[in-house]
Amino acid sequence: MALPILAADVKTGGSMMVPIEGGKYNVWTKRVGHSATKMLTLHGGPGFPHDYLESMEDYLPQNGIEFYYYDQLGVGNSDVPDDNSLWTVDRYREEVEQVRKGLGLDQFILYGHSWGGMLGMEYALAHQDHLKALIISDMTAGITEYEAYAQKLLGELSEADRATLKKYEDAGNYDAPEYQQIMMEKVYAAHVLRMNPWPEPVLRAFNKLNTKIYNTMQGPNEFVITGNFKNWERFNDLSRIKVPTLVIAGRLGTMNPDDIKRMGKLIPNSRVVLTEGSHLEMYDDQDRYFREIVKFIKDVEGGKFKPDKKM
């Protein structure tokens, strides 16, 4: 007996699978809210799902902003192929363009957090004719700069803790309990998310991490970069991003505030905001974070956006 064909207008609560790579795979998306103002979100990782961005639901729809969750290929509710050749910056950049087409978005706002911010820069440099605006959250424009600041933050640990980390890193044993304890209790707690306990959506996202993607592209953790985007660098290309851009980061996070300010000087039509939060500032400086994002979007939509004065 043939199954009935699903009606095109069936209600799904906003969820939709978008075919990519010629229909070989599908990625999950979900619309939240209804508005002429539309924003696509790019989550961090690589390999983390959208879950930790769920705090957006308490701020954006009620301010007239329709946004889309999107689990990138290999993550969360999307297909999870076992093929390491798929985990590259270039392929993910073009995946975003396929998702844009699948959702019928044009002249939309693109938001990217952490790795998603890197991906957002890549997309803007290749496809900014489809963008109305760009939000780069908690991501610097070069891994060399990222690594230098990571070493500065690790240098704030005690001599004994640094020696312990080095011992396990030299052995390639990043899963050792002693190593993990220092990283989670003294490094992540200070710079990734300054809350205890961590909010449920954040814990859920960490529990669903695809470590194969994360290790292939980034490395063993947020402070050791050994993956295939180790040589990624876009500072010299930022002047080509012409759309209104918000560069926002937590002053206490994993990105150097000086690098964030430098990005603002290089992107000609940009505004820079430094909150008092960490890398996941959407939780530990939540009201300020979303107030700035909503203001930026409303300024763009209302034709009132003015970039920072460049020094």
pLDDT for 267-306, tens place per residue?
999 999 999 999 999 999 999 999 999 999 999 999 999 9
Dist. CA 278–CA 276, nearest whole Å: 7
Stretch 101-108: mean pLDDT: 98
Residue written as tokens 């990519």?
20
pLDDT digits (tens, 9 = 90+) for 26-82: 999 999 999 999 999 999 999 999 999 999 999 999 999 999 999 999 999 999 999
User: Which tokens hold the place of 136?
Assistant: 């780069």
Helices marked H in the chain: 89-103, 115-127, 143-154, 159-170, 177-182, 189-191, 200-207, 211-217, 257-266, 281-284, 286-301
Q: What confidence tier does 94 reach under pLDDT thresholds 50, 70, 90?
A: very high
Helices marked H in 10-130: 89-103, 115-127
Domains of the chain, CATH where assigned: 16-301 (3.40.50.1820)
